[in-house]
Structure 1
Amino acid sequence: MDEARDRVLMGPERRSMVVREADRKVTAYHEVGHALAAQLLPHANRVAKLTVVPRGRAAGYMMPDADDRLHVTRPALEDMIAVALAGRAAEDIIFHEITTGAQNDFQQATSIARRMVTEWGMSDRIGKVAHATDQGTYLGGGAQMLPMSEHTAARIDDEIKTLIDAAYTRATDLIGEHLTRVHEIVSVLLTRETLTGEEFAALLNGETLEPLPPATPSTPPRIAG
């Protein structure tokens, strides 16, 4: 069931893919950054799985627990943005470099922030006014911005940036506070390649995992030095 879920959501595993060790390390810190924020922020969905095994177009991924709530609060949305940006925050803290790995994260964070401001009336500065609608769009296509002045559009852009900057600061502070534990978890993740949510929570609490059982003969992933 887990494999079927992962295949549908992320695509097939790509264990034959040649991955540089430096890229595996960046991926590990990136995904542990997501996982740390998901596990510690009060309104975020907890970690279900964490892996550095490439799957589909992803070099690795953090899968959160399924979320069945009908209504999402502003604090929960702010935590979602922080979780989305925490991977990039971890890269920034550890490597002091910018990579292309956070492209989808930025798109997700920006989409949430924009909807908070333009659709859900969650901006005190912009007010409880709808500036976008998803009604009457041809074949879906997402929300369409309503007519507005240049001044209002600029204020909306400023508010979106404010939400994202605040979330990025929260993620950076959280990772910096738990940096020693981040290093420890990354070391384990690079060795085991995949962690369950329970294993990640145990490591975050300073516990030690049971040794892995002897591996059955298989084709190992090719790692480029």
Structure 2
Amino acid sequence: MILAATNRPEVLDKALLRPGRFDRRIIVDKPDLKGRLETLKVHSKDVLMADDVDLDALALASAGLVGSDLANMINEAAINAVKKGRKFVTQADLFEAFEIVAVGGKEKKDRAMSDKEKKIVSYHEVGHAMVTALQKNTEPVQKITIVPRTMGALGYTLQTPEEEKFLQTKEELEAKIVTYMAGRAAEEIVFHSVTSGAANDIEQATKIARAMITQFGMSEKFGMMSLASVENQYLDGRAALNCGEQTASQIDQEVLQMINHSYEEAKRLLNENREVLDKIAEYLYEHETITGKEFMKIFRELKGIPEPGQETEAAVSDDMFVDDEV
């Protein structure tokens, strides 16, 4: 039996793939939710876990990671526990390890930002979180921090899905672009200037907008026309345009229009909630890191929105009152 492996099956000589040769393909994709959970169980079986550990939540948050990433997460969590003088791993250790592996290295608390930079980063990250909370079709905020990381990030807003998803609607993609643009929008609103901190946000927003237009048939101008093909599917998944220079120029114009529209929408949402933005940014500046639950609690209090449980109780009371009237 002869086995061969490649990350670029599309460039293989067709003669190799004829019947009787390498005619059976086994595709090894990134693990799905169930696969990630089982992988985490395998790597954590010899690690003492606290009662609060929920591997299901970690598997859900780690979409897109591969087996080696998940193994590294368990190892990092165990190292965190030992450093803190514990013989067991907690849920906090696991999510801290997740951030190290998936987000961008360890916290670098000795990297001192100036007060002005710290304030800018606070508004930038709260801008992301605020626009997430103000829109529909978004994933909930898990954590907001302005503690720099070893991989260069000065802060980040972490969002985790509530369920495993394989498809994204047009509305969800549009909401993502608006969320990506919200950090820079907050900078412009508050400081009347912008910084280089939004570089990755702009890159991700552009990538989504271009895919919507060229691959997903979500273009206002071109409609359901395929304008790009994915190359190197098992490597970087780069898309190559299938059109001429004039059409490519029109695509660029529509991408720019979509991003500009999203940027204006982000500014509108933040301007309409400027007082809330200021207060949460001030809170983050003082505390440096807040959880998603803390953020939503403060957000609801400032907006006068009842907590989900209280809202349900009120609805039940209203129903009972109506029934009594009937």
After superposition, the Cα gap between the structure-2 partners of 1:139 and 1:68, relative to the gap in structure 1 and judged at 3 Å, is closer
CA apart distance, 1:139:
6.4
Which fold has the larger relative contact order, with Cα–Cα distance below 8 Å and residues 6 or more apart in sequence? 1
Equivalent runs, 1:137-176 vs 2, <5 Å: 137=232, 140-176=235-271
Cα distance, 1:147 vs. partner? 3.6
1:93 maps onto 2:221 in alignment: no
Partner Cα distance (2:122, 2:241) in 1: 41
Number of equivalenced pairs: 206
TM superposition score normalised by structure 2: 0.61
CA contact (8 A) 1:132 1:143 kept: no
Match of 1:178 among 269, 273, 298: 273
Shift of 1:142: 2.7
Aligned to 2:212: 116
Runs (5+) with no aligned partner, structure 2? 1-93, 303-326
Q: Which residue of 1 aligns with 2:70?
A: none
C-alpha deviation, 1:143, in angstroms:
2.7
Q: Which has the larger radius of gyration?
A: 2
Report the CA distance between 1:138 and its aligned residue: 8.3
Residue 226 of structure 2 corresponds to 130
Deviations 1:48-103 (A, max 9, x none): 10011111311011001236211100010000000001000000000011210000
Aligned position for 2:286: 191
Structure 1 spans left out of the alignment, 5+ residues? 208-225
CA distance in 1: counterparts of 2:236 and 2:226, whole angstroms: 18
Identify, as 1 or 2, the structure richer in helix.
2
Native 8 Å contact 1:43 1:75 kept in 2: yes
Q: How does 1:67-82 map to 2 (within 5 A)?
A: 68-82=164-178
Q: Distance in 2 between matches of 1:152 and 1:129?
A: 12
Q: TM-score, normalised to structure 1's length?
A: 0.87
Name the structure 2 match of 1:11: 105
Would you say the 8 A contact 1:38–1:64 is kept in 2? no
CA distance in structure 2 between the partners assigned to 1:72 and 1:147 by the alignment: 23
Specify the SS of the correspondent of 1:205.
helix
- Which runs of at least 4 in structure 1 moved beyond 4 Å after TM superposition? none
State the SS of the aligned residue for 2:152: coil
